[in-house]
Structure 1
Amino acid sequence: MSTSSARRPPLGFLMLLGTMAAVPAMTMDMYLPSLPEMTRDLNTTQALVQGTISGVMIGSAMGSLLSGPLSDRFGRRRPFFAGMALHVVMSVLAAISPNITTLLAVRVLQGMGNATATIAAFSALRDRFTGPSQSSGMSWIQTVIAVVPLAAPAVGGWIAHHWGWRAVFIALAVFGLVVMAMVALLLEETHPPERRNPNASPIRAFGPLVRDPRFLAVAVVPAMATTVLFTYISASSFVLQEGFGLTPAQFVIAFAVNGVMIIVGAQANSRLVYRVGTPRMLWVGLLGSLLFAALLLVASLTGIGGLWGFLVPLALLLVFNFLTMPNAVTLALKHHGRRAGSAAALVTATQQLLAGILSPFVAVLGGGAPAMSIVLLAAVLVALLFAALNRRLERRA
């Protein structure tokens, strides 16, 4: 099956891949409004219930590292269906979990299963498209992934309000079945037998990747862009409501506006990348992110502009962050088409690991707007450093 760098990926194809890639985010965010109810119902602590979020992230990282090499060996569909079947079963078990210990274990396995959906989506895009076409398609996928954390809590909260928190996990099982049916009917195998790597295994598949300094350098960039997004999502509620005095309704409006800005950035990239090219668009995103992250820190430390002095650079930072992320992922997969599944797995696991470790540093630094701004600026600076290293290595190659 040939790949293309010039023609635009079909919108239906991209929406399907975006839906697949959003399964882990849906699993992580849909039940967030139910955490207090779960704490009471399971007679446990808030810390342990919040641990179910970490559990699914850990499971997703592990599942990514396992499913990537398997998709290079057996094709994209078979590991996807196996993983999603595990997701569906674990979702049902989560709904009937009698205690927090069972729920914690089930959530790890649930994350391992649904990680195959993201890996299959990223790999299928790389199988079909390269260069600007891949970057454009990745923008659409990242748009869906970014919008899910904004919408999933509202949907999950509505379900929990009417039927309780256990119904949220039943809904996740149904969602998994729907995605499986969509893939079965609409997505043919994109990695045919003649292109597969029969020797791929979770142990050996990553050797060529970790020995490629260009891959290692650029793989850090989307991880830092994800850190920016996770930091914003996890800290903005406290910063805007406690720090700036927004009401819950006002915060929802601000959060929704920033969600629109994320879409603007991703969609702008999907169009501009054909004219400018993937490497240049990456640098546009990074330099724009640096500018507005710096302005955000200045506004946080000085109070210049008050609320608007904080909100405007934050929104523009999110726009440029979504010029950075899809192009960085595209460049990470650039030289590893035959190992696209393994490469996507390592990129995804790096994103989850580093973002999960770094985003809580807002609380470590004391919380508030300055702490959030420091973490955001630090993530952008690290991304710039590794992007510069990658560019230097590419020129030497």
Structure 2
Amino acid sequence: MSIFQALVLCLAWLGQCAGTDCDAEIGGVLFLQTAVSAASHSHGVGKQHPAPQDEMVHPLWDAAEKFFHIKRAAVGSVHIQSFKIPGIFENLSKYCVVLVYVVFSLMCGRFCLVGVPAKAPQDPQVSKGCPRSWLIYMGVVYAFIYFSTDQYVPSLPQMEADLAGSQALMSGTVQLNLFVKAVFGLMSAGLSDRIGRRPVVLACVVLLSLASLCCACAGRIEWFIAARILQGMGESVEPVVFAMARDYFADSNERFKVIAALQMMAFVGIAVAPLYGGVCAAYLSWRLSFLSLAIVWGLLAAYAFWAMMESCPEGSQESYLKDVARILDPHLLCLLLTESCIMGGYFTFNANSSYLMEESFGRSVMASSIVMLIYGALSGLGAVLIEKLHLSSVLRMGQLALSLLALAGMISMVLGLYFSEYLWSYLAGSFLQASVGMMALVATNVLFFEPLADCAGMAASFEIVAQSILPSLLSAIGTQSMIQVGPKGLTLWQAGACVAGGVLFWLGYGCNPPAWTLPLEPSERPKSLRLLADEAEETS
């Protein structure tokens, strides 16, 4: 046997060892058969006359060529069964889920029959300002609300195998969670106005700890979905966080900085969560990330019980219907729909990128985690750009940001139409959208809250609905587009959401802004507001 023949035999053996799926195993057998046949020719086995040199080299070359064309399955696309959760923990999680639903139903019945409890008075310390430790706490809570979902997105294909689910069901757990958070967010902020912020925050954070533990111990997809619904109910604390920011920061300029800081912390969670979840899934188990979340939420609940002050202001509440009528002003409704489209593009990426990378392009869990990390980092850069851009008004900032977002969507459409078979085309378009999406979202948020300072809690509830329900629907349609059409369908749908956001903003707000949209420069403000600002400076 010559050295070249021995090399081909080694390649054939390596091909068989690398065969982690059926195609690779078949390929390995073909390599061995071809190589052994070639070696037999050289020793005269089965033939009395050796084959000519070119006829002998041909099957050897075919064997080597087939080896190098074998595509080894990526680490993330091979569903390795995670360790089986002990039966006792699985049963305890079921009992815990049922118990939480029973307790919640009883409490709702009590509120309907007896009424809500009386609100505690506002703590005198609130008037002195927000402690730095509590401001950090609000940022951590807001960041971990998004962390709770984004941490397991790279593990969706693995979880599908472990929980006996399907791609539609696993992606649906992301979208269902957003829908539940939006629905219960409508109630949580209004309830905190009537019974106080403290009991609502404590209940939601404790619920998040229990729900995360139940997700970690779920043995079937049905119980995982039930636990994710509980997580969505707990995540309805998000509008209460914004209501507390209103309580502590009466000045609009200070509140703008606080909201921008909260958004920055949220995108830190968005960036870090997929990487952490991917590491847990790749080296240990996806269940570890949920278990860690249960511990973190438990610690946050303990700190809130010890340090939280009641911040809800005293006084009579305005009519609910009047507040709703103000929020549903055509200009403000257009801004809510714009936010829905912006978040729809993000949720479409969030719920489907891991399946696209791992199933369609054979990448690993860690690769999809790193992509989501880059996406979150680029989104966070948008908040930095807000501070760097010195535009004359928030309106102009929104016009610029939404124009760039629509342009990014158009570029993504072109890439999806002509280069959808390449992963880089989808990633390039998504990264372009991420780089301007945060700037567009914050500018739209500020414009929305500008005339609603006295009903910010209710406005935050409607904003959560706008950022969750319609984006969840858009994300679900994006999932079906990827299943039915492939990468091109997902790319075009995600890009279309960004284009729609820009078009809605310009048609309903940017071209004809309302009277309350005021420039930031003092010289451009109306005379009455300049007089008020001068009086405030004199008194200070």
Cα separation, 2, equivalents of 1:231 and 1:52: 13
Counterpart of 1:384 (choices 494, 501, 506) is: 506
1:119 is displaced (CA, Å) by: 1.2
Counterpart in the other structure of 1:292: 408
SS in 2 for 1:338: helix
CA contact (8 A) 1:75 1:190 kept: yes
Counterpart in the other structure of 1:92: 213
1:183-202 counterparts in 2 under 5 A? Answer: 183-184=304-305, 188-194=309-315, 197=317
Q: 1:325 to 1:84 in 2, by over 3 A?
A: same
Larger mean Cα displacement after TM superposition, 259-268 or 212-221: 212-221
1:112 is displaced (CA, Å) by: 0.8
Counterpart in the other structure of 2:63: none
CA contact (8 A) 2:155 2:365 kept: no
Cα separation, 2, equivalents of 1:372 and 1:135: 29
Counterpart of 1:262 (choices 379, 388, 397) is: 379
Larger mean Cα displacement after TM superposition, 161-170 or 222-231: 161-170
Greater length-normalized contact order (CA 8 Å, ≥ 6 residues apart): 1
1:265 is displaced (CA, Å) by: 0.8
Counterpart in the other structure of 2:113: none
Please, what TM-score do these two structures have when normalized by structure 1?
Answer: 0.80
Q: Can you list the C-alpha shifts for 1:263-320, whole angstroms capped at 9, x where unaligned?
A: 11112214547x644333222211222233333333444559x987876665343222
CA contact (8 A) 1:119 1:345 kept: yes
Structure with the greater alpha carbon radius of gyration: 2
Q: 1:165 to 1:239 in 2, by over 3 A?
A: closer
Larger mean Cα displacement after TM superposition, 207-216 or 319-328: 207-216
Larger mean Cα displacement after TM superposition, 79-88 or 357-366: 357-366
**Runs of 5+ in structure 2 lacking a partner?**
1-125, 518-540
Cα separation, 1, equivalents of 2:426 and 2:153: 26
SS in 1 for 2:292: helix
Counterpart in the other structure of 2:275: 154
1:66 is displaced (CA, Å) by: 1.0
SS in 1 for 2:452: coil
For the pair 1:348 / 2:454, whether they are aligned, the reply is: no
Root-mean-square deviation (Å): 3.8
Larger mean Cα displacement after TM superposition, 172-181 or 38-47: 38-47
Please, what TM-score do these two structures have when normalized by structure 2?
Answer: 0.61
1:25-64 counterparts in 2 under 5 A? Answer: 25-64=146-185
Counterpart of 1:220 (choices 331, 337, 341) is: 337
Cα separation, 2, equivalents of 1:149 and 1:281: 24
Counterpart in the other structure of 1:232: 349
Counterpart amino acid of residue 194 in structure 2: R
Counterpart of 2:245 (choices 112, 125, 134) is: 125
Count of aligned pairs between the two proteins: 385
Q: 1:2 to 1:281 in 2, by over 3 A?
A: farther
Q: 1:315 to 1:370 in 2, by over 3 A?
A: same
Cα separation, 2, equivalents of 1:358 and 1:240: 20
Q: Can you list the C-alpha shifts for 1:129-160, whole angstroms capped at 9, x where unaligned?
A: 55443333322222222332332233234445
Cα separation, 2, equivalents of 1:243 and 1:11: 46
Counterpart amino acid of residue 257 in structure 1: I
1:236 is displaced (CA, Å) by: 4.4
Larger mean Cα displacement after TM superposition, 336-345 or 35-44: 35-44
CA contact (8 A) 1:94 1:106 kept: yes
Cα separation, 2, equivalents of 1:307 and 1:14: 40
For the pair 1:104 / 2:225, whether they are aligned, the reply is: yes
Q: Can you list the C-alpha shifts for 1:168-210, whole angstroms capped at 9, x where unaligned?
A: 333222121233344456654443224x63x77xx75863445
CA contact (8 A) 1:21 1:119 kept: no
Counterpart in the other structure of 1:172: 293
**Runs of 5+ in structure 1 lacking a partner?**
none
For the pair 1:73 / 2:194, whether they are aligned, the reply is: yes
CA contact (8 A) 1:143 1:263 kept: yes
CA contact (8 A) 1:61 1:348 kept: yes
Counterpart of 1:136 (choices 241, 248, 257) is: 257
What's the % identity of the aligned pairs? 25
Cα separation, 1, equivalents of 2:358 and 2:162: 28
SS in 2 for 1:193: coil
